[in-house]
Chains A and B, each alone.
Chain A
Amino acid sequence: MSSTPANVATHTAGTVCDLVGNTPLVEIQRLREGVADGVKIYAKLEGFNPGGSVKDRAAWNMLKHGLDEGSLAPGKTILDSTSGNTGIALAMVGAALGFPVTLVMPANVSIERKRVVTAYGATPVYSDPLEGSDGALLMCREMYEAEPDKWFKPDQYFNEANPEAHFLTTGPEIWEQTDGAITHFVASIGTGGTVMGTGRYLKSQNKAVQVIAIEPDDAFHGIEGLKHMESSIVPGIFKEQELDSKIGVATDDAYDMVYDVAASEGMLVGQSSGAALCGALEVARQLDEGLLVVIFPDFGDRYLSTNLWMGWKNRKQTRKQ
Protein backbone atom coordinates (compact mmCIF):
# COMPACT_ATOMS: atom_id res chain seq x y z
CA MET A 1 0.00 0.00 0.00
CA SER A 2 1.13 3.52 -0.71
CA SER A 3 1.99 5.73 2.23
CA THR A 4 -0.06 8.54 0.65
CA PRO A 5 -3.05 9.33 2.84
CA ALA A 6 -6.12 7.64 1.40
CA ASN A 7 -8.12 10.77 0.67
CA VAL A 8 -5.36 12.79 -1.05
CA ALA A 9 -6.38 11.55 -4.50
CA THR A 10 -9.87 12.90 -4.03
CA HIS A 11 -8.54 16.35 -3.14
CA THR A 12 -5.82 16.72 -5.78
CA ALA A 13 -5.51 16.87 -9.55
CA GLY A 14 -3.51 14.38 -11.61
CA THR A 15 -2.22 17.09 -13.95
CA VAL A 16 -3.03 20.74 -14.38
CA CYS A 17 -5.27 19.68 -17.31
CA ASP A 18 -7.72 18.20 -14.79
CA LEU A 19 -8.31 21.72 -13.51
CA VAL A 20 -9.63 23.02 -16.84
CA GLY A 21 -13.25 24.19 -16.66
CA ASN A 22 -15.71 24.62 -13.78
CA THR A 23 -15.29 28.39 -13.89
CA PRO A 24 -17.50 30.68 -11.78
CA LEU A 25 -20.45 32.86 -12.83
CA VAL A 26 -20.67 36.32 -11.30
CA GLU A 27 -23.51 38.80 -11.61
CA ILE A 28 -22.92 42.14 -13.31
CA GLN A 29 -24.18 44.45 -10.55
CA ARG A 30 -23.58 48.05 -11.61
CA LEU A 31 -22.97 48.21 -15.36
CA ARG A 32 -26.64 47.77 -16.21
CA GLU A 33 -27.86 51.22 -17.14
CA GLY A 34 -31.13 50.94 -19.03
CA VAL A 35 -31.60 47.28 -18.12
CA ALA A 36 -34.95 46.27 -16.59
CA ASP A 37 -34.99 44.89 -13.03
CA GLY A 38 -36.25 41.57 -14.32
CA VAL A 39 -33.13 41.05 -16.41
CA LYS A 40 -30.03 39.53 -14.86
CA ILE A 41 -26.60 39.41 -16.50
CA TYR A 42 -23.96 36.95 -15.38
CA ALA A 43 -20.36 36.80 -16.58
CA LYS A 44 -18.58 33.46 -16.80
CA LEU A 45 -15.01 34.11 -15.77
CA GLU A 46 -12.89 31.93 -18.01
CA GLY A 47 -9.74 33.56 -16.67
CA PHE A 48 -10.04 31.07 -13.80
CA ASN A 49 -8.84 28.27 -16.08
CA PRO A 50 -5.27 27.17 -15.24
CA GLY A 51 -3.80 28.70 -18.43
CA GLY A 52 -5.84 31.84 -17.81
CA SER A 53 -8.39 31.65 -20.61
CA VAL A 54 -11.35 29.89 -22.20
CA LYS A 55 -8.91 28.41 -24.74
CA ASP A 56 -7.73 25.85 -22.19
CA ARG A 57 -10.96 23.95 -22.83
CA ALA A 58 -10.47 23.62 -26.60
CA ALA A 59 -6.73 22.97 -26.34
CA TRP A 60 -7.17 20.18 -23.80
CA ASN A 61 -10.02 18.53 -25.73
CA MET A 62 -8.20 18.72 -29.09
CA LEU A 63 -5.08 17.12 -27.62
CA LYS A 64 -7.17 14.48 -25.83
CA HIS A 65 -8.74 13.56 -29.19
CA GLY A 66 -5.28 13.40 -30.76
CA LEU A 67 -4.07 11.04 -28.04
CA ASP A 68 -7.18 8.86 -28.33
CA GLU A 69 -6.88 8.63 -32.13
CA GLY A 70 -3.12 8.11 -32.01
CA SER A 71 -2.37 11.14 -34.21
CA LEU A 72 -0.64 12.70 -31.19
CA ALA A 73 2.01 10.23 -30.12
CA PRO A 74 5.58 10.33 -28.75
CA GLY A 75 7.94 11.94 -31.28
CA LYS A 76 5.36 14.44 -32.53
CA THR A 77 5.55 18.17 -31.99
CA ILE A 78 2.32 20.13 -31.46
CA LEU A 79 2.04 22.94 -34.05
CA ASP A 80 -0.63 25.64 -34.42
CA SER A 81 -1.11 29.26 -35.33
CA THR A 82 -2.38 31.64 -32.70
CA SER A 83 -2.24 35.27 -31.76
CA GLY A 84 -2.63 34.57 -28.10
CA ASN A 85 -4.62 32.49 -25.69
CA THR A 86 -4.74 29.25 -27.68
CA GLY A 87 -0.97 29.35 -27.89
CA ILE A 88 -0.69 29.73 -24.13
CA ALA A 89 -3.20 26.91 -23.63
CA LEU A 90 -1.41 24.55 -26.04
CA ALA A 91 1.95 25.42 -24.49
CA MET A 92 0.58 24.68 -21.01
CA VAL A 93 -1.17 21.41 -21.90
CA GLY A 94 1.77 20.33 -24.07
CA ALA A 95 4.16 20.88 -21.15
CA ALA A 96 1.87 19.00 -18.76
CA LEU A 97 1.65 16.05 -21.15
CA GLY A 98 5.34 16.10 -22.10
CA PHE A 99 5.03 17.13 -25.78
CA PRO A 100 7.11 19.86 -27.47
CA VAL A 101 5.05 22.75 -28.88
CA THR A 102 5.75 25.15 -31.78
CA LEU A 103 3.50 28.20 -32.23
CA VAL A 104 3.20 30.50 -35.23
CA MET A 105 2.17 34.00 -34.16
CA PRO A 106 2.28 37.50 -35.64
CA ALA A 107 5.60 39.17 -34.74
CA ASN A 108 3.87 41.95 -32.81
CA VAL A 109 2.21 39.81 -30.15
CA SER A 110 2.65 41.38 -26.75
CA ILE A 111 5.81 40.73 -24.77
CA GLU A 112 3.70 39.00 -22.09
CA ARG A 113 2.56 36.45 -24.69
CA LYS A 114 6.05 35.74 -25.90
CA ARG A 115 7.33 35.27 -22.35
CA VAL A 116 4.44 33.08 -21.21
CA VAL A 117 4.65 30.63 -24.12
CA THR A 118 8.41 30.41 -23.92
CA ALA A 119 8.21 29.93 -20.14
CA TYR A 120 6.07 26.84 -20.84
CA GLY A 121 8.87 25.65 -23.12
CA ALA A 122 7.14 26.30 -26.46
CA THR A 123 9.05 27.51 -29.53
CA PRO A 124 7.57 30.65 -31.13
CA VAL A 125 7.79 31.25 -34.91
CA TYR A 126 6.88 34.78 -36.00
CA SER A 127 4.79 35.72 -39.05
CA ASP A 128 4.34 39.12 -40.72
CA PRO A 129 2.40 41.38 -38.32
CA LEU A 130 0.71 43.16 -41.22
CA GLU A 131 -0.95 39.91 -42.25
CA GLY A 132 -2.54 39.46 -38.79
CA SER A 133 -3.82 36.11 -37.56
CA ASP A 134 -4.65 34.92 -41.09
CA GLY A 135 -0.98 35.38 -42.01
CA ALA A 136 0.01 33.16 -39.08
CA LEU A 137 -2.61 30.61 -40.11
CA LEU A 138 -1.24 30.40 -43.68
CA MET A 139 2.40 30.19 -42.56
CA CYS A 140 1.49 27.41 -40.13
CA ARG A 141 -0.25 25.54 -42.93
CA GLU A 142 2.89 25.75 -45.10
CA MET A 143 5.07 24.46 -42.26
CA TYR A 144 2.73 21.55 -41.72
CA GLU A 145 2.55 20.64 -45.40
CA ALA A 146 6.36 20.71 -45.72
CA GLU A 147 6.79 18.10 -42.94
CA PRO A 148 3.42 16.50 -42.18
CA ASP A 149 4.92 13.58 -40.23
CA LYS A 150 6.72 15.84 -37.80
CA TRP A 151 3.69 17.69 -36.50
CA PHE A 152 0.43 17.22 -34.69
CA LYS A 153 -1.67 20.18 -35.78
CA PRO A 154 -4.80 20.65 -33.65
CA ASP A 155 -6.06 23.32 -36.09
CA GLN A 156 -8.48 25.09 -33.78
CA TYR A 157 -10.29 26.76 -36.68
CA PHE A 158 -11.32 23.48 -38.30
CA ASN A 159 -11.22 20.90 -35.47
CA GLU A 160 -14.67 19.80 -34.24
CA ALA A 161 -13.06 18.89 -30.90
CA ASN A 162 -12.92 22.67 -30.31
CA PRO A 163 -16.70 23.28 -30.20
CA GLU A 164 -17.14 19.84 -28.67
CA ALA A 165 -15.11 20.98 -25.64
CA HIS A 166 -17.79 23.58 -25.01
CA PHE A 167 -20.66 21.20 -25.74
CA LEU A 168 -19.22 18.85 -23.11
CA THR A 169 -18.17 21.37 -20.47
CA THR A 170 -19.06 25.08 -20.85
CA GLY A 171 -22.68 24.37 -21.86
CA PRO A 172 -23.47 21.91 -19.05
CA GLU A 173 -21.75 24.15 -16.49
CA ILE A 174 -23.89 27.14 -17.46
CA TRP A 175 -27.06 25.07 -17.53
CA GLU A 176 -26.35 23.80 -14.03
CA GLN A 177 -25.13 27.14 -12.65
CA THR A 178 -28.30 28.91 -13.81
CA ASP A 179 -30.54 26.01 -12.83
CA GLY A 180 -31.75 25.89 -16.43
CA ALA A 181 -33.06 29.46 -16.27
CA ILE A 182 -30.69 30.93 -18.91
CA THR A 183 -32.55 32.74 -21.70
CA HIS A 184 -29.66 34.30 -23.68
CA PHE A 185 -26.09 33.19 -24.24
CA VAL A 186 -23.59 35.79 -25.49
CA ALA A 187 -20.02 35.05 -26.59
CA SER A 188 -17.47 36.75 -28.81
CA ILE A 189 -16.09 34.96 -31.87
CA GLY A 190 -12.42 34.03 -32.03
CA THR A 191 -12.68 30.69 -33.76
CA GLY A 192 -16.39 30.35 -33.00
CA GLY A 193 -15.75 27.28 -30.84
CA THR A 194 -17.23 28.70 -27.65
CA VAL A 195 -20.40 30.15 -29.17
CA MET A 196 -21.03 27.10 -31.37
CA GLY A 197 -20.45 24.33 -28.82
CA THR A 198 -22.02 26.05 -25.83
CA GLY A 199 -24.95 27.27 -27.92
CA ARG A 200 -25.59 23.78 -29.24
CA TYR A 201 -25.69 22.32 -25.74
CA LEU A 202 -27.95 25.03 -24.35
CA LYS A 203 -30.37 24.68 -27.27
CA SER A 204 -30.38 20.90 -26.77
CA GLN A 205 -31.72 21.57 -23.26
CA ASN A 206 -34.07 24.41 -24.21
CA LYS A 207 -34.67 25.34 -27.85
CA ALA A 208 -35.75 28.83 -26.80
CA VAL A 209 -32.30 29.86 -25.51
CA GLN A 210 -31.04 32.66 -27.76
CA VAL A 211 -27.44 32.35 -28.92
CA ILE A 212 -25.76 35.63 -29.81
CA ALA A 213 -22.26 36.06 -31.24
CA ILE A 214 -20.17 39.20 -30.87
CA GLU A 215 -17.63 40.32 -33.48
CA PRO A 216 -15.65 43.48 -34.24
CA ASP A 217 -17.75 45.94 -36.26
CA ASP A 218 -14.99 46.39 -38.83
CA ALA A 219 -12.19 44.45 -40.51
CA PHE A 220 -9.68 47.01 -39.17
CA HIS A 221 -10.01 46.63 -35.42
CA GLY A 222 -8.06 46.24 -32.19
CA ILE A 223 -10.08 43.66 -30.28
CA GLU A 224 -7.45 41.03 -29.72
CA GLY A 225 -8.55 37.46 -30.27
CA LEU A 226 -11.70 38.30 -32.21
CA LYS A 227 -12.44 37.78 -35.89
CA HIS A 228 -14.45 39.98 -38.22
CA MET A 229 -16.06 37.17 -40.16
CA GLU A 230 -16.86 38.92 -43.42
CA SER A 231 -13.22 39.86 -44.03
CA SER A 232 -11.51 36.79 -42.56
CA ILE A 233 -10.81 33.21 -43.46
CA VAL A 234 -14.02 31.78 -42.01
CA PRO A 235 -13.28 28.94 -39.57
CA GLY A 236 -14.69 25.58 -40.68
CA ILE A 237 -16.27 25.09 -37.25
CA PHE A 238 -18.24 28.35 -37.48
CA LYS A 239 -21.84 27.79 -38.64
CA GLU A 240 -23.51 31.16 -38.73
CA GLN A 241 -26.93 29.66 -39.46
CA GLU A 242 -27.00 28.19 -35.95
CA LEU A 243 -26.84 31.63 -34.35
CA ASP A 244 -29.89 33.69 -33.47
CA SER A 245 -28.00 36.92 -34.07
CA LYS A 246 -24.59 38.49 -34.44
CA ILE A 247 -23.68 41.92 -33.05
CA GLY A 248 -20.77 44.09 -34.21
CA VAL A 249 -18.93 46.09 -31.52
CA ALA A 250 -16.55 49.03 -32.10
CA THR A 251 -13.03 48.75 -30.72
CA ASP A 252 -13.41 52.03 -28.79
CA ASP A 253 -16.57 50.78 -27.08
CA ALA A 254 -14.92 47.47 -26.16
CA TYR A 255 -11.88 49.26 -24.69
CA ASP A 256 -14.03 51.70 -22.70
CA MET A 257 -16.07 48.80 -21.34
CA VAL A 258 -12.87 47.13 -20.10
CA TYR A 259 -12.07 50.25 -18.04
CA ASP A 260 -15.64 50.33 -16.69
CA VAL A 261 -15.70 46.63 -15.78
CA ALA A 262 -12.46 47.03 -13.83
CA ALA A 263 -13.55 50.17 -11.96
CA SER A 264 -17.24 49.36 -11.45
CA GLU A 265 -17.33 45.59 -11.06
CA GLY A 266 -13.84 44.84 -9.74
CA MET A 267 -12.90 42.61 -12.64
CA LEU A 268 -9.84 43.35 -14.78
CA VAL A 269 -10.58 41.56 -18.05
CA GLY A 270 -9.35 41.54 -21.65
CA GLN A 271 -10.82 43.45 -24.60
CA SER A 272 -12.83 40.50 -25.87
CA SER A 273 -14.72 40.50 -22.54
CA GLY A 274 -15.37 44.22 -22.98
CA ALA A 275 -16.76 43.58 -26.45
CA ALA A 276 -18.91 40.70 -25.21
CA LEU A 277 -20.44 42.78 -22.41
CA CYS A 278 -21.17 45.64 -24.85
CA GLY A 279 -23.15 43.16 -26.94
CA ALA A 280 -24.84 41.59 -23.92
CA LEU A 281 -26.02 45.00 -22.69
CA GLU A 282 -27.42 45.80 -26.13
CA VAL A 283 -29.48 42.61 -25.93
CA ALA A 284 -30.41 43.10 -22.26
CA ARG A 285 -31.81 46.59 -22.84
CA GLN A 286 -34.40 45.18 -25.21
CA LEU A 287 -35.78 42.74 -22.64
CA ASP A 288 -38.31 43.01 -19.79
CA GLU A 289 -37.02 39.88 -18.16
CA GLY A 290 -34.38 37.28 -18.81
CA LEU A 291 -31.16 35.70 -17.64
CA LEU A 292 -28.15 36.40 -19.80
CA VAL A 293 -24.82 34.64 -19.54
CA VAL A 294 -21.85 36.31 -21.20
CA ILE A 295 -18.44 34.75 -21.59
CA PHE A 296 -15.45 36.73 -20.30
CA PRO A 297 -12.68 34.82 -22.13
CA ASP A 298 -9.74 35.93 -19.96
CA PHE A 299 -8.40 38.39 -17.40
CA GLY A 300 -6.69 41.64 -18.34
CA ASP A 301 -3.25 41.36 -16.84
CA ARG A 302 -1.83 39.92 -20.05
CA TYR A 303 -2.76 43.09 -21.96
CA LEU A 304 -1.21 45.72 -19.71
CA SER A 305 1.58 46.49 -22.19
CA THR A 306 -0.76 46.77 -25.17
CA ASN A 307 -2.59 49.68 -26.80
CA LEU A 308 -5.59 48.97 -24.57
CA TRP A 309 -3.83 50.46 -21.57
CA MET A 310 -1.28 52.81 -23.18
CA GLY A 311 -2.27 56.32 -22.10
CA TRP A 312 -5.67 55.10 -20.91
CA LYS A 313 -6.10 57.61 -18.08
CA ASN A 314 -6.00 60.57 -20.46
CA ARG A 315 -8.44 58.90 -22.78
CA LYS A 316 -10.77 57.99 -19.96
CA GLN A 317 -10.82 61.56 -18.70
CA THR A 318 -11.50 62.89 -22.19
CA ARG A 319 -14.31 60.42 -22.62
CA LYS A 320 -15.98 61.29 -19.31
CA GLN A 321 -16.03 65.05 -19.98
Chain B
Amino acid sequence: MPVEVRIPTPLRKFTDGADTVPVEGSSIAELLDDLDKNHPGLKGRICEDDGSIRRFVNVYVNGDDIRFLDNLASPLKDGDEVSIVPAIAGGTRSLS
Protein backbone atom coordinates (compact mmCIF):
# COMPACT_ATOMS: atom_id res chain seq x y z
CA MET B 1 0.00 0.00 0.00
CA PRO B 2 1.49 3.33 -0.99
CA VAL B 3 1.69 6.56 0.98
CA GLU B 4 -1.15 9.02 0.54
CA VAL B 5 -0.12 12.63 -0.18
CA ARG B 6 -2.52 15.51 0.42
CA ILE B 7 -2.09 18.29 -2.13
CA PRO B 8 -2.94 21.94 -1.31
CA THR B 9 -5.40 23.76 -3.56
CA PRO B 10 -2.83 25.93 -5.43
CA LEU B 11 -0.87 22.84 -6.55
CA ARG B 12 -3.79 20.72 -7.70
CA LYS B 13 -3.25 21.87 -11.28
CA PHE B 14 -0.34 19.40 -11.26
CA THR B 15 -2.59 16.51 -10.12
CA ASP B 16 -5.55 17.10 -12.48
CA GLY B 17 -7.44 18.58 -9.55
CA ALA B 18 -6.95 15.59 -7.22
CA ASP B 19 -6.66 16.54 -3.54
CA THR B 20 -4.84 13.33 -2.64
CA VAL B 21 -2.53 11.17 -4.72
CA PRO B 22 -0.88 7.81 -3.96
CA VAL B 23 2.94 7.91 -3.99
CA GLU B 24 5.68 5.31 -3.44
CA GLY B 25 8.68 6.01 -1.24
CA SER B 26 10.37 5.01 2.00
CA SER B 27 11.44 8.58 2.88
CA ILE B 28 10.23 12.12 2.16
CA ALA B 29 13.07 12.56 -0.36
CA GLU B 30 11.97 9.43 -2.28
CA LEU B 31 8.36 10.50 -2.04
CA LEU B 32 9.14 13.88 -3.62
CA ASP B 33 11.00 12.19 -6.48
CA ASP B 34 8.13 9.79 -7.13
CA LEU B 35 5.64 12.64 -6.89
CA ASP B 36 7.55 14.53 -9.55
CA LYS B 37 7.77 11.45 -11.80
CA ASN B 38 3.99 11.12 -11.84
CA HIS B 39 3.24 14.85 -11.75
CA PRO B 40 6.11 16.61 -13.54
CA GLY B 41 6.96 20.05 -12.17
CA LEU B 42 5.44 19.50 -8.75
CA LYS B 43 8.73 18.98 -6.90
CA GLY B 44 10.05 22.27 -8.29
CA ARG B 45 7.21 24.08 -6.55
CA ILE B 46 7.88 22.42 -3.22
CA CYS B 47 11.69 22.35 -3.21
CA GLU B 48 14.63 24.64 -3.89
CA ASP B 49 17.09 23.75 -6.65
CA ASP B 50 19.29 21.99 -4.08
CA GLY B 51 16.41 19.70 -3.12
CA SER B 52 15.65 21.29 0.28
CA ILE B 53 12.05 22.20 1.09
CA ARG B 54 11.24 25.85 0.30
CA ARG B 55 11.09 27.90 3.46
CA PHE B 56 7.39 28.72 3.30
CA VAL B 57 6.33 25.12 2.71
CA ASN B 58 5.48 22.78 5.55
CA VAL B 59 5.46 19.01 5.09
CA TYR B 60 3.75 16.83 7.66
CA VAL B 61 3.81 13.06 8.18
CA ASN B 62 0.64 11.93 9.95
CA GLY B 63 0.27 15.51 11.19
CA ASP B 64 3.86 16.02 12.41
CA ASP B 65 6.18 18.60 10.82
CA ILE B 66 9.18 16.88 9.21
CA ARG B 67 11.47 19.60 10.64
CA PHE B 68 10.88 17.97 14.00
CA LEU B 69 11.32 14.47 12.55
CA ASP B 70 14.24 13.88 10.21
CA ASN B 71 13.53 16.39 7.42
CA LEU B 72 13.98 14.85 3.96
CA ALA B 73 15.23 11.62 5.52
CA SER B 74 12.05 11.21 7.59
CA PRO B 75 11.02 7.57 7.10
CA LEU B 76 7.68 6.56 5.64
CA LYS B 77 5.74 3.34 5.88
CA ASP B 78 2.72 2.00 4.04
CA GLY B 79 -0.45 3.81 5.01
CA ASP B 80 1.23 7.04 6.19
CA GLU B 81 -0.44 10.30 5.26
CA VAL B 82 1.77 13.16 4.07
CA SER B 83 0.43 16.73 3.83
CA ILE B 84 2.02 19.59 1.90
CA VAL B 85 0.85 22.89 3.33
CA PRO B 86 1.94 26.41 2.37
CA ALA B 87 2.61 28.57 5.42
CA ILE B 88 -0.01 31.13 4.41
CA ALA B 89 -1.79 30.74 7.70
CA GLY B 90 1.33 30.48 9.77
CA GLY B 91 3.45 27.56 10.81
CA THR B 92 2.75 25.00 13.44
CA ARG B 93 4.53 21.97 14.76
CA SER B 94 1.61 19.68 14.17
CA LEU B 95 -1.61 19.85 12.20
CA SER B 96 -3.81 18.52 14.98
Contacts and interface: CB of A to CB of B under 8 A. Distances in A.
A130 B85 CA distance: 6
B77 interface: no
A84 B88 CA distance: 10
B7 interface: yes
Nearest to A220: B10
B55 A130 contact: no
B95 interface: yes
Contacts, number: 104
Interface residues of B, number: 26
Given A108-B91, A132-B88, A222 B10 contact: no
B71 to A, nearest CB: 11
Contacts of A132: 8-10, 86, 88-89
Contacts of A28: none
B87 interface: yes
B89 A307 contact: no
Interface string B66-87: 0100000000000000011111
The secondary structure that dominates the B interface is mixed
Contacts of A124: none
A222 B95 contact: no
Contact of B91 (A83, A219, A310, A315): A310
Given A108-B95, A220-B45, A252-B55, A303 B88 contact: no
Chain B CB within 10 Å — which of A83, A220, A223, A311 has the most? A220
B43 interface: no
A163 interface: no
A86 to B, nearest CB: 12
Given A222-B56, A307-B55, A105 B10 contact: no
A134 B9 contact: yes
Contacts of A129: 83, 85, 89, 95
A123 interface: no
A251 B56 contact: yes
B9 A222 contact: no
A98 to B, nearest CB: 29
Contacts of A311: 55
A306 B88 contact: no
Chain B CB within 10 A, most for which of A130, A135, A223, A228: A130
18 contacts: A84-B90, A105-B89, A108-B87, A109-B89, A109-B90, A109-B92, A110-B92, A130-B6, A130-B19, A133-B88, A218-B10, A221-B10, A222-B57, A222-B87, A252-B55, A255-B56, A307-B57, A310-B67
